[in-house]
Structure 1
Amino acid sequence: MKLKKIISTSMALGLIALSLTGCNTTSGESKTSDSKTQIEFWNALTGKNEEIVKSFVDKFNEQSETVEVKMVSQGDYWENGTKLQAAIAAGNQPDLTMLEITQVAQFASVGALADIGEQISKEKKNDFLPGLMRESEYDGKTVAVPLNRSTPLLYINKEMCEGAGLDPSGPKNWEELKDYAKKLTNEADGVIGLAVPIDIWFYEALIYGQGGEMIDKDNKVAFNNEKGEKALGLWQDMMKDGIMQLPPGEGYDAWDAAKDAFINNKAGMTFQSTASLTGLMEQTEGKFTVNTAFIPGDTQFGVPTGGANIVMMENSTEDEKKAATEFIEFMTDTENVVDFSMETGYMPITKSALESERIAKLYEEKPQYKVAADQLKYSSKRPGVVGYVEASEKLMNEMKKALLDLDLDVKETIKSATSIMQGVIDKNNK
């Protein structure tokens, strides 16, 4: 889950709602080619993971006698969400798309998403891990199912920890995190203890790690209190102590900068997604051993889930929905879920995949992969309120000011930031 700007306004949602009442991308006719129903699937992954998704699409097209999937890559999650808004308003949306989990409510609220629960089998629906289905429901309907799902992890340089006299299994709480970061920092060698891209996902983990919540049931900001202040204060204190680094750049650039520091032995630890695991292990092979651990909590463990679900668009024809269901069933087949998890580092999304012999063997040989699955029991649902993505971006922008100017008061920053955040949420939920 990487924070980047996305348009999420009442006006945009109004345009979507209007377009849904007056247009259909297919004009009531399914697209066919050589007796196959053609459907369009928007991918929102980049780099190697995009190539892996394409390989599954190609595999599906080779084996399906009735459906042909055209994959169109739309950039990252946020670019994909913005383009989807525009496509719906213009009447040329895809049949299927990945949708970052906090965006599901945004599109479901205006009726853009089909009820997948009516399309897939009951057996299939019950196979998805319950901890990953919380962001798939809206107004009593199953409007999405998990596809590429993740949790944040703490990545640790095993040998660097051992050299500093630290347990390489990693810190369990905030005090231990600060101790690890202090002992791993070596200013003379340009090594920082912890490199963290400042992102709403990681801030959510700090709130959940205190037993708090981001947004309450009444759509009110719920961390304008000691929990919110302590979370931001942890980062600011570590910055003041010179044991944590704010990677340069915005959005993906900051995430990549943190990865680079870790890969090149310039950071002893970093917060990243489990989706980065396979790549980081490959890039550090022969350099050092990558260990993974739960995100440390203050009073308890707690993390958000992340990644994207797959959704079906309501305005597709029944034939296209049937074809889309065939592709969803394929992508979430046990063996394909296992393959996808092993190739990317994303979590197995079904019970059958998690209980498979191949995953058991992977976890035995590479226990780094098991950590995300184990951490899932401590996960909380991310806010599904409409406008949350836009609101959380403004929140992070305010918080970064207190991390760039370490003299700024944390309490005042949280008070101001949450007020701005609440204004955005209220605007989108009138």
Structure 2
Amino acid sequence: MKTYWTLGSAMAAMLVIAGCGSSGSTESVSGAQPDEPIELTYWYAWGDKIGENNENLVQQFNEAHPNIQVTAEFQGTYDELHAKTQAAFAAKDAPEVTQNEIASVETFAKNGMTESLQPFIDQDELDIEDFNEGLMGNSYVDEEIYALPYLRSTPILYLNTTLLEEKGLDPACPKTWDEFKEYAAVLSEDGEMKGATMPIDIWFYEAFVTQAGGEMIDDAGKPAFNSEAGAEAIDFIKEMYEAGSIKVPTGDVAGDTAKQDFVNGKSGMMLSSTADLTYLMTNANDQGYEVDTAFMPENKQFGVPTGGANLVMTAGLDDAKQEAAWTFIKWMTDTEQTAYSSEFTGYLPSRHSASETEKMQKVYEEVPQYKTAVDQLEYAHERPMVEGYPEVVNALVEEITRAVLQDGSSQDALDNATERAEAVLK
């Protein structure tokens, strides 16, 4: 899943490298134009269609901006990208522009690794209200914007409607947890396939907790998942696993396993990022079945976390490079480029003006599956950004996995995860 990252022991190192030089944000707004082309490096995560999108946009930017030349470099997963960025920053060799997975924005900013974009936004009077408010929650640190939404997503429900219809199931559902469990049971009746392949993924768990009426972290920055909603979210997974109606893969390839099971007709439903839409629809077309998309099912309410990456400027650049980096970030997140990325990958259009372009309106009319995640933003919320949350994620995933696969107690899992979380979130 392209939704979260972990830092492990590298978090401690960030406190050491925080002292690396950073120019003052207000001093960076010079308006100076370089005499020679400014060279920038841009690091990004994920390959395939997402990687192609990044490379295509950088090529277009370079053609339109002869005074600024950007080199795009693939760095792997979000985990790998963040670890490499930390190491490069410590070595004073960081890229000028990179991606932060949204839950990491505050950590990078508060450790002095990224520059506030607020002076540049104010200087250019950038219309922040044009960015979808449901995607802006992970952009602010101490009331200043440090990151702009770029390739953003929510988890959605994918349905192999061909398989559903063969089983006599209405492809317009399931809309609730109970209906999802019913569909999973019917799809699994003959033993040849599962209702869904569902890894223990923190992104999904955050959604389930919200749908059950709970929250992950409270306003004071303390764990709040040890609740009735938190337990109900675990039990939702456990009940289907114990009934044999879902497959729960583990390890680094769990997300890929889920996608391959769905693509190969081994599961009829899948929860995954809207960023997988183009890939899944292309495969479905090649293999002769239909795919539809829907909101994640509701329990007490609908609710999903947002995900994906924001663009950030690394700290410590001289004035000319700051201006060039800002020009690149502003262009990459502008209306036309946002619409291009959304059509090319399936990621959300993060600007209202992008959704309203003729290009996107035509896409929604011809392929309504693209609009599901946009409509679902009504129920979206930001991910927790408290320092130490990556370690909380590790603890939760480990404890939930143990509860589901080893028939443990949901309450014991939450108690253990809370104890581990409190040790981190002091």
Q: Under TM normalisation by the shorter chain, which class is it? A: over 0.9
Deviation of 1:15 (Å): 1.4
* 2:423 alignment partner in structure 1: 423
The aligned residue for residue 219 of structure 1 is 221
Per the alignment, in what secondary structure is the counterpart of residue 168 of structure 1? coil
Q: Deviations over 1:208-230 (max 9, x none)?
A: 11221100111111010111110
**Distance 1:10-1:255 versus aligned 2 partners, 3 A rule:** closer
Structure-2 separation of matches of 1:388 and 1:150: 20
**What are the within-5 Å matches in structure 2 for residues 130-149 of structure 1?**
130-149=133-152
Aligned to 1:276: 276
Q: Cα offset for 1:98?
A: 0.7
Question: Residue 173 of structure 1 aligns with which residue?
Answer: 176
Q: Residue 126 of structure 1 is aligned with which of 129, 132, 135?
A: 129
Residue 342, structure 1, aligned to residue 343, structure 2: yes
Q: Structure 2 CA distance, aligned partners of 1:12 and 1:170?
A: 48
Distance in 1 of aligned mates of 2:75 and 2:131: 26
Secondary structure, aligned partner of 2:20: helix
**Paired letter, 2:417:** A
The answer to whether the 8 A contact 1:20-1:88 is kept is no
Answer whether contact 1:304 1:380 (CA < 8 A) is retained: yes
- 2:96 corresponds to 1:91: no
Q: CA deviation at 1:41?
A: 0.9
Task: Quote the Cα distance in structure 2 between the aligned partners of 1:34 and 1:319.
Answer: 10
Distance 1:371 1:15 in 2: 43
Pick the aligned partner of 1:153 from 156, 181, 184. 156
Distance 1:132 1:8 in 2: 29
Q: Give the share of equivalent positions with the same residue, in percent.
A: 40
**1:193-208 matches, cutoff 5 A:** 193-208=195-210
Count of residue correspondences: 413
For 2:293, the equivalent position in structure 1 comes to 292
What is the alpha-carbon distance in structure 2 between the residues aligned to residue 317 and residue 124 of structure 1?
A: 26
| Structure-2 change in CA distance of 1:4 and 1:65 (3 Å) | closer
SS at 1:99 equivalent? strand
| Partner amino acid, structure 1, of 2:231 | E
* Alignment partner, residue 26 of structure 1: none
- Given that residues 94 and 313 in structure 1 are in contact (C-alpha distance below 8 angstroms), is that contact kept between their aligned partners in structure 2? yes
How far off is 1:241 after superposition?
0.5
State the shift of 1:313 in Å. 1.4
Query: Are 2:367 and 1:374 equivalent residues in the alignment?
Result: no
Which residue does 1:401 correspond to in 2?
A: 402
Q: Could you tell me which residue of structure 2 aligns to residue 65 of structure 1?
A: 66
- Whether the 8 Å contact between 2:240 and 2:246 is mirrored in structure 1 is yes
1:5 CA drift (Å): 4.0
Residues 21 and 325 (structure 1), Cα distance of their counterparts in 2 relative to 1, 3 Å cut? closer
**Length-normalised TM-score, structure 1:** 0.92
Paired residue for 2:248?
246
Structure 2 residue aligned with 1:29: none
* 1:170 partner amino acid: C
Gaps of 5+ in 1: 23-31
Could you tell me how far 1:8 is from its partner in structure 2? Answer: 5.7
Matches of 2:101 and 2:15, distance apart in 1: 20
Q: Which moved more, 1:40-49 or 1:366-375?
A: 40-49
Deviations, residues 396-422 of structure 1 (Å, cap 9, x unaligned): 01111112112x111111111122122
Tell me the SS of whatever aligns to 1:38: strand
Q: What stretches of structure 2 of length at least 5 have no aligned partner?
A: 24-32
The range that moved more, 34-43 or 142-151, is: 34-43
Query: In the TM superposition, what is the alpha-carbon distance from 1:10 to its structure 2 partner?
Result: 5.2
Give the aligned partner of residue 354 of structure 2. 353
1:19 is paired with a residue whose SS is coil
**Residue 28 (structure 2) aligns with:** none
| Secondary structure of 1:284's aligned partner | helix
Q: Distance in 2 between matches of 1:231 and 1:192?
A: 20
Kept in 2, the 8 Å contact 1:136–1:144? The answer is yes
Cα deviation for residue 34 of structure 1 reads 8.6
Counterpart of 1:255 in 2: which secondary structure?
helix
In structure 2, what is the equivalent of residue 259 of structure 1?
259
Contact (CA 8 Å) 2:34, 2:320: kept in 1 or not? no
Q: Structure 2 length as normaliser, TM-score? A: 0.93
Contact 1:9–1:387 (CA<8 Å) still a contact in 2?
no
Tell me by how many angstroms 1:287 deviates. Answer: 2.1
Question: How big is the shift at 1:388?
Answer: 0.8
| SS of equivalent to 2:19 | helix
Report if aligned partners of 1:127, 1:352 keep a CA contact under 8 Å in 2.
yes
Q: CA deviation at 1:7?
A: 3.0
Root-mean-square deviation (CA, aligned residues, Å) is 1.8
Corresponding residue for residue 308 of structure 1: 309
Contact 2:164 2:170 in 1 (8 A): yes
Q: Secondary structure at the match of 1:223?
A: coil
Letter in 1 for 2:307: G
Confirm or deny: 8 A CA contact 1:7 1:82 kept in the other structure.
Answer: no
Q: Does 1:364 align with 2:345?
A: no
Query: Residue 20 of structure 1: CA displacement?
Result: 3.5
